[in-house]
Amino acid sequence: MDKSSIPTIDLSPFFREGDEDGKKKAMETITQACTEYGFFQIENHGVPLDLMNQALELSKKFFDFPDEEKRKSSPNSGAPLPAGYSRQPDHSPDKNEYVLVFPPGSSFNFYPTNPHGFRDVLEEIFSYLVKTGFLIESILNVCLGLSPNFLKEFNHDRSWDFMAALRYFPATENENNGITEHEDGNCFTFVFQDEAGGLEVRKNGEWIPVTPIKHTIVVNVSDVVQVLSNKKFKSATHRVVRPKGKSRYSYAFFYNLHGDKWVEPLPRFTKEIGEAPKYRGFFSRSIRS
C-alpha cells in the first residue's frame, strides 16, 4: 500500500455472482485501510457516474446564483432542522456554503427550486448513497468478524442519515482552512469531490492529501465504528484545505445512528480477547435528536 496516498478499492466483485476471490482481496485491503488510515476510496460502487457528475454540476450552478436567490432556499425560522441552504455567519470569513438534505420524503426538507432538476438529482443520489452505505456496512461487518448482520441490526433505521452539497470558497492570503481538523461522530461518511481537492487525512502526524480520482467515493470510518471495535478500526482525523484561486465543490453523506443509541466497545474486542475497553459506553445522540 502506497504510504503517500489512501488506497482505492474496486467494489465490482460485490456486484458479481461467484467472485469470492475478488471480494476477499477487497476486504483484506479495506481491513488494512481501516486499521492504518480510517480512510479509503471506492470505485465501481454502484452509484451512476453520470448522476455524480450531474450532482456536482447542478450544485455549481446553484452556488453561482446571487445570494438573494440562494437565500430563497434557506430554512424558515420554524423548521425543526436546518435543511436547505446555509452559509457561515456574515461576521466570519467566508469558508463554505451548503445545501443540507435529509431522507427524501422528510417533511422538513427545503429544496432549491433552481436550477431545474436539482431536487430530483439530490433525492436520487441520496437514495443511491444509502444503498452504498448498506454495502459498506455489510463489508465492515465481515472485516470486523462480527456475527452476520450485526451492524445492520444494530443500526437499522436510515431516517437519520443526511447529506450536504458543499462549496468551499477559494483560500485568502490569511486563511485557507475550509474545515479544521476533526473526526466524524457518526458511523461512516462518504465524500465525492471535484478536481480541486483539498481533503486531507492525518497519519502518524503527517497530512496526506486525498487526491481526487474521478468517479470514486471517499469513505472515512467515524467514531461509532472506532468505539465498537475498541479502536481496531480508526476514526480518522481529517480536514479540508481550501485551494487558491478556485472554489471546491463536494458532497458529504453521513451514515448515522438512529436516535439515542448506547455505544460501547463490543466484547469481541475486549473481554473475549483479554483487552481493556479503551472507551466508556455512551449514548450517541443524532443531529436530529
Residue 150 within any structural domain of the chain: yes
Q: For position 261, what pLDDT does the model report? A: 84
Q: For position 282, what pLDDT does the model report? A: 85
Instruction: Give the Cα separation of 168 and 240 in Å (integer).
Output: 9
C-alpha torsion angle, residues 221, 222, 227, 228 (rounded to 10):
-60
**Full residue range of the structural domain in which residue 205 is found:** 47-285
Rounded to whole angstroms, what are the CA distances from 3 to 6, 32, 33, 99, 195?
Answer: 7, 12, 11, 34, 22
Give yes or no for residue 288 having a pLDDT over 50. Answer: no
3-state helix, strand, coil in the chain (%, to 5): 30, 25, 45
Residue 30 within any structural domain of the chain: no
Instruction: Give the Cα separation of 196 and 179 in Å (integer).
Output: 15
Dihedral sign for Cα atoms in the order 200, 189, 216, 73: negative
Mean pLDDT for the stretch of residues 159-179: 86
Residue 19 within any structural domain of the chain: no
Q: For position 58, what pLDDT does the model report? A: 98
Q: Residue 43: which of 5, 1, 9 has the closest Cα?
A: 9
Give yes or no for residue 179 having a pLDDT over 80. Answer: no
Confidence of residue 73 (pLDDT cuts 50, 70, 90): very high
Cell 454540476 -> residue:
57
| 126, 104 contact by CB (below 8 A) | yes
Q: Residue 8: which of 22, 20, 24, 26 has the closest Cα?
A: 26
Residue 116 within any structural domain of the chain: yes
Any bridge partners for residue 97, and if so which?
A: 87, 167
Residue 52 within any structural domain of the chain: yes
Residue 89 within any structural domain of the chain: yes
Query: In the structure grid, which three cell numbers stand for residue 288, read together?
Result: 436530529
Instruction: Give the Cα separation of 253 and 110 in Å (integer).
Output: 17
Domain CATH for 219: 2.60.120.330
Residue 209 within any structural domain of the chain: yes
Residue 22 within any structural domain of the chain: no
Total domain count for the chain? 1
Any bridge partners for residue 28, and if so which?
A: none
